[in-house]
Amino acid sequence: MVNFSLEGKVALVTGAAYGIGLAIAQALSEAGAKIVFNCSRQETVDRGLKAYKELGIEAKGYLCDVTDEAAVKEMVADIEATVGTIDILVNNAGIIKRIPMEEMEAEEFRRVIDVDLVGPFICAKAVIPGMIKKGHGKIINICSMMSELGRETVSAYASAKGGLKMLTRNICSEYGEHNIQCNAIGPGYIATEQTAPLRERQADGSRHPFDSFIISKTPAARWGNPEDLMGPAVFLASDASNFVNGHVLYVDGGILAYIGKQPK
């Protein structure tokens, strides 16, 4: 029998106060996991705690920057002491800076790499010893279609997400023998509050140009919803995926499979 239950598991979802991270944490909770999350600002932690309470989820929130190795180690130690050894890590925290490459400062580029790639490395490094000791573990990295594709203004983000895809494969290669599975989810364009301005109707009732562009490039002919990521997350966090390792599961409505419509 396929086992999708996460009963008794401890899941750390980074940056999970809202949006994709919150939806994934909700799914893991509904499957039985205990939820812990972190954010880099206290007001965001508080926002997350309020959101979980409204969902009826008992979650523990930490103020912790994923780029601060000492702080991450301290957080993981506290989770292990107060909640339990982490069974599931979802590296969701991330940022994007949409700046043309020739206008982007090296420091801005480094910041995106630090949060989106070095952060997952630090968090994975912190939880792996406990997973080895326990004899199992699941690490889910939130990649992107930009792990495969380039696009104007996202040189740093695409570089980080491409690197995260390879970090996923390398964790699989290095720790698979310890019954640790490291996979990734690559979301397509997801309807969240951050992307809401790109989906607003224009004054004449027409779609926003970017909205039209995404719809035309997506065989599903719609934006994804955070809920579309819930099933894939539970699959990759559960025993159902015990022989799936080093894989990126793209949840994109088919964009990466589609060359686009021929111009009329």
Write out the catalytic residue numbers: 157
Measured CA to CA in angstroms, residue 243 lies from 82, 172, 239 at distances of 30, 11, 9
Q: In what order do the strands lie in the sheet with 88-91?
A: 59-63, 34-39, 10-14, 88-91, 137-142, 180-187, 248-251
Distant-in-sequence, close-in-space partners of 101: CB < 8 Å, separation ≥ 6: 153, 155
Measured CA to CA in angstroms, residue 187 lies from 52, 103, 200, 220, 243 at distances of 22, 27, 21, 14, 22
Length of the chain equals 264
